[in-house]
Structure 1
Amino acid sequence: MSGHSKWHNIQAKKGKMDAKRGKVFTKIGKELMMAAKDGANPDTNAKLRDVIAKAKAANMPNDNITRVIKKAAGENNSADFEEIVYEGYGPNGVAVIVEAYTDNKNRTAGNVRHSFDKFGGNLGTTGSVTFMFNKKGQIIIEKTDEIDEEELMMLALDSGAEDFIAEENVYEIITEPEAFDGVKEAIMGAKIEMLESEITMIPNVTTSLDLETSEQFQKLIDKLLDDDDVDNVYHNAEFDENFEEN
């Protein structure tokens, strides 16, 4: 993706998360409950550690985080939820992956299918689009005068990153999933603030959209993320450079 499109995607995602904080807490709560199934101690449960970091980045109160983990560990309510991944195509053949946590597969599948149908897309079969993505750790850092690009690059690569990309407004650091924690801890140790840090699905090929289709596709993303069961939406769209989210 171009620097503009990549930066737009980051801003749009963060804006949506900030604008719907109540829904964000609901979604992260489900993630916490799922992760706690494998142990309530983040020191020995890497998945739980990552979700706790995500919760804190979203400004979820510590009391809320602790309460959800204790509830999951004590009552095993997390067993009611399961993770489901849907794959499909948006307008103009954009590849879309939807991750959901649900206690009712029929409800979630119906809602996701309706969203695709309403905005010019369609659900696909398992494996229909995942080959266009790689699961990677991704860290985004804003470019500032205080950050020395070469020093940051060496810090990232020396701590296990596989790629360092200087975009127009940000630095993007890519890692293998198993190296993500080590790179993130090295950056935190250097007191460098991160805009985004997560395990994500990065497209290896992109689909360019014109302005009209960009607007239509954004409506699909918004509709999907508005569903409490939907946790993440990944895609390979490259938005039109003139598109600005309302």
Structure 2
Amino acid sequence: MSGHSKWSTIKRKKGALDAKRSKIFTKIIKEITVAVREGGPDPEGNPRLRLAIQNSKAANMPKDNVERAIKKGSGSDGAVYTEVTYEGYATHGVAIFVECMTDNINRTVQNIRSAFNKYGGSLGTNGSLEFIFDRKGVFNIKLSDNLTLDEEEFTLEMIDAGAEEVAFEEDYVTVYCAMEDFGAMQKKVEALKLEVENAELQRIPNTTVTLDEESLRKVMKFIDVLEDDDDVQKVYHNIELNEEALAALE
């Protein structure tokens, strides 16, 4: 699964280039709100909420924002969000998977369809991209001067806990697990008191598409438009983004 490590690194580098902090906060607030409605306001008894709060800290989101989001999710008023996904292809055969949270599905599907049409893509049916993306748990753990890990020992410990792959990259270690092992791995990471920068279920491409610079820019523009939509939480694609391609986008 060497492609997973590359994907994780690219996601992190792309995130470092993004200055859309308010958009990130909005997505986290929605996730907290839905988590509270599903499992209650107590993080100890609500793994999804605990994870959302953890990711809010990694994004340097103010504590007041988190508390307001929990309060909003606990109330009977306010927006009720529905989770929906859309699958399709951009130009050049690039697979696109979009995860949304919305209080108005008609608005969302109209916006997503409009974006696909404008940039020459085509929406498919749900499940049409299952053969391209594998859903995996991904834990990005930041290494620091205060945290030294024996790579072999740590890898074996993670595998015993359900990890499928453990990748050491510069100042990070990334742990991958099957979707059904996500909760157990979350508990293990918490028990070890590791500094988790981000933890989530991701859709990892098992096959990728290589584009020339001009085509890459056009497809990434389309992806940026999707990510800018207020109803969109995450956008996954299967573009091969190597160092050369990333440099071309800067």
Aligned counterparts of 1:130 and 1:76: Cα–Cα separation in 2? 36
Match of 1:88 in 2: 88
The reply to whether residue 65 of structure 1 matches residue 30 of structure 2 is: no
Match of 1:40 in 2: 41
| TM-score, reference length from structure 1 | 0.85
Paired amino acid for 2:119: F
After TM superposition, the structure 1 = structure 2 runs for residues 1-246 of structure 1, keeping only pairs within 5 Å, are 1=3, 6-16=8-18, 19-38=19-38, 39-79=40-80, 81-141=81-141, 146-166=148-168, 171-190=173-192, 192-239=194-241, 241-243=243-245, 244=247, 245-246=249-250
Paired amino acid for 1:180: F
- Per the TM alignment, residue 212 of structure 1 is displaced from its structure 2 partner at its CA by 2.1
Gaps of at least 5 residues in structure 2 are none
State the SS of the aligned residue for 1:156. Answer: helix
User: CA offsets per residue over residues 26-60 of structure 1, 9 Å max, x none?
Assistant: 12212221221122222222222222222222122
Paired amino acid for 2:237: H
**CA RMSD in angstroms, aligned pairs only:** 2.6
Question: What percentage of aligned pairs have identical amino acids?
Answer: 41
Aligned counterparts of 2:194 and 2:74: Cα–Cα separation in 1? 34
CA contact (8 A) 1:155 1:186 kept: no
Paired amino acid for 1:24: I
- Per the TM alignment, residue 73 of structure 1 is displaced from its structure 2 partner at its CA by 1.2
State the SS of the aligned residue for 1:97. Answer: strand
Gaps of at least 5 residues in structure 1 are none
| TM-score, reference length from structure 2 | 0.84
User: CA offsets per residue over residues 137-161 of structure 1, 9 Å max, x none?
Assistant: 1123467894432122123112221
Aligned counterparts of 1:22 and 1:215: Cα–Cα separation in 2? 24
User: CA offsets per residue over residues 82-141 of structure 1, 9 Å max, x none?
Assistant: 111111112211111101111222222222122222333221111111332222111234
Aligned counterparts of 1:143 and 1:67: Cα–Cα separation in 2? 31
